[in-house]
Amino acid sequence: MKRTATILLFMTALCLGIQAQYGPVGFVNHNDGINGITGGMKGTVVRVTNRQDLATYAKASQPYTIIVEGRFEGSGLNRSKDVISVASDKTIIGVKGAELAGIGLDINGKQNIIIRNLVIHHADPDAIAVRNSHHIWIDHCEFYSQDETKEDWDGLVDLTSGSSYLTVSYCYMHDHHKACLLNSGTMHFEDNGKNRATYHHNAFMRIDQRSPRIGYGLAHVFNNYYQDIGSYAVGGHTQAQIVTEKNHFGTSVRHPFENMYASSTDDASCAFWSDRGSHFTTTPATDFKHRQTGTSFEPSLWYGYDFALEEAADIARLYPTRVGQVDGLEHEPILWPGNGAIDISLGAKPAYSPIEGMTGTKVLWGTDKNVLREISLDSLRLQPSTTYYWQVLAQTADSSYRSPVYCFTTAGVKAAKPTPADGEFNARLRVAASAEAKTAAMPLSWRPAAEAQSYRVYLATDADSLDQAKPISTNTVSCQPGSLRYGQTYFWRVDVIKASGDVVTGDVWRFSAPARPVRVGRTELEHLTRGAYAYLEREDGSWFKASNDSVIVGEAGPGAVTGVWEGENGSYEISVDFYDEAAGQAGMFLSVNDRQIDFWKGVKQYGMTTHRINKEVTLHRGDQIRIDFYTQGKMRSRIDCIDIKLKALAIGQATIPDDTGHETVIYDLTGRRVAAKDLRPGIYIVNGRKIAVKTAAGL
């Protein structure tokens, strides 16, 4: 019988000779597109000592763990573009002293890549450029660019063009102008729903700005050290949601945070920022541009990180011993699931990466981080809603090495963490689906259950009717319920279907969205309910004159405003005022209850323009009136107001018997009955039909 060893773990320095690290932490562990980060775990280990071999293995289609040894020089030192392309499923890790001088790494349209323990400097255009890629972990690297003349270069680590699920950790970034981007800038629809990144335990020193700068997405910036920051440390724009937590901002940090382009929270360019327990050596500025907005997101809904979170007062010790290159990191096994990963299914098979020359391993496992026992992964049986701690000891011919202690938490037996959140009363029922199209109906989504084979979703307008609703079946963690109505409260439930056929009944959640009235006459669109990329913009009349003091603006994607008709049933003439901009055309749609009535574009001329809908529109009380819009080109789309004029009330067919059998029934446009002798020229409803009367004798 195999003896099982019990090993007490004390969180001390590893035999690698480095302080305890944490492995991949943060958004890089999230299951979306792929199930977390593994890099080259499934491939072989190779060691390269020249640039050509590095380039060959990096661009290969199969997975590799690539150990880089030595200094490689490139033409970036002479300000000429020089990059090595990195394909999916790679781990590139340097031996201490590994250096790319004037060579950048380019990741474009790839996934599942780990880059660790490299010094990259004077790279043209960027040290690491990540575009349209996801699940990238950059760890323990050093980046810089400027020489004694302080000549500006481009970025150090730029994560752009719809990249997402990224973590940058324990990196030393210094002597540079614009360090890190998360998003390419404003008006980039490809970033919709992307740009989710974690920056932790990095040191930013002698940097002017962008450490990092975030647009559109979600960024968690914790336990970073900032010193000698000339302009601002963390920047945000265009609806980014940012949590800064327990960072250390030194005396020479001009501004810890900057809202890049907005002057109020209503602006499309506004970023939303909240700080938790950071150390500010000097008092931050209190003007809008540099203060917290108080609205952001909750990182713990995406991943666990408490085990890695340190007090802000301790973060000054990051530099110089804990950031940048460290000795022996190439010997550290990387584990999957990543550290702090949550909602892991019971069918997951934990795995670890090989190290060079590995001859054997031991896996230590438990539910108490201080007491781990040796197990075989083949015999492992995971339980729901359980946090596991584990570590791998790797043996080579002449030494042994160990990973940090990782933890992960399995999913519960029920679907959880719904979107919209339970109790949400301002749900965005319209979302952006593509760059130049109408908005789409909001999907429902949730986090996976531990043993789900599939799901059944029930939706109703009262909780007691859920079981009678027609279910939506899906094998994914989202579904499309179709268009939903403003002003209505919805109840929904997600039942889990196991492989055995057993059903786990879910919790009942609810959400709603406000209904705003539209009436005869002018309605300011800023008073309606907004969806997708629709924001308020105030105008002072210096550029153009709004009918009130505001317009609805869209940027880098479709938006919509919706109202509920509170007028009489009838036929109406509708017009919409919008600002027509020569920089690009705005496309606009008018829909009633999801039926498209009209579509039009601007004509590329500056100025406020009125568009009249090309036909009379029949409206009934309670109809949902929606104006969708999108932008084309580097511009904003602005719509001001909607004007609705009565043409004829919808009077039902009506006859009243008289001595001859029937009587002609006449109403005026207000619905008042009119005698034939009282007719004047105008439009009347006669037995339910609209008739123009030129003279009293004309009927």
Among the listed residues 96, 128, 110, the one whose alpha carbon sits nearest the alpha carbon of residue 37: 110
**Edge-to-edge order in the sheet of strand 689-693:** 666-667, 682-686, 689-693
Tokens for 449, please give them.
């259950």
Strands 559-565 and 624-631, bridge-based pairing: antiparallel
CA–CA dist 680, 123 (Å, integer)? 83
**Residue 346: count of CB within 10 angstroms of its CB:** 16
Q: What is the DSSP letter of 4?
A: P
Q: Which residues contact 660 (CB under 8 A, 6 or more apart)?
A: none
Give catalytic status of residue 210 as yes or no.
Answer: yes
Q: How far apart are CA 241 and CA 182, in angstroms?
A: 12
Which DSSP symbol is given to 695?
A: S
Residue 446 tokens, joined: 């949730």
Burial of 432 (0-12, 13-18, 19+ CB in 10 A): buried
Distance CA 503, CA 190 (A): 38
CA distance 20 to 373: 20
> Residue 682 corresponds to which amino acid?
G
Q: Look at the chain and count its residues.
A: 699
Which 3 state secondary structure label does DSSP give 355? coil
Among 220, 213, 209, 267, residue whose Cα is nearest residue 239: 267
For residues 68 and 92, the answer to whether their CB atoms sit within 8 Å is: yes
DSSP 175-231: EEEE-EEES--SS-GGGTT--EEEEES-EEEEEEE-SSEEESSEEEEES-EEEEESS
The residue from 51, 210, 402, 447 that is catalytic is: 210
Token pair, residue 136, equals: 């990238």
CB atoms within 10 A of CB 461: 13
Cα–Cα–Cα angle for 201, 307, 157, nearest 5°?
A: 25
Residue identified by tokens 């029922």 is 429
- β strands within 285-370, DSSP E: 335-336, 341-344, 351-352, 358-368
For residue 58, report the phi and psi dihedrals to the nearest 5 degrees: -65, -35
**C-alpha to C-alpha distance for 244 and 242, rounded to whole angstroms:** 6
Q: How far apart are CA 147 and CA 145, in angstroms?
A: 7
- d(Cα 150, Cα 121) in Å, to the nearest integer? 14
| Two structure tokens written together for 123 | 């790279």
- Rounded to the nearest 10°, the torsion over CA 41, 45, 49, 52 is -70
Are 403 and 333 within 8 A, CB to CB? yes
Task: Write phi, then psi, for 525 (nearest 5 degrees).
Answer: -70, -20
Phi-psi region of 532 (alpha: psi -120 to 50; beta: other; left: phi over 0): left
Catalytic site residues? 210
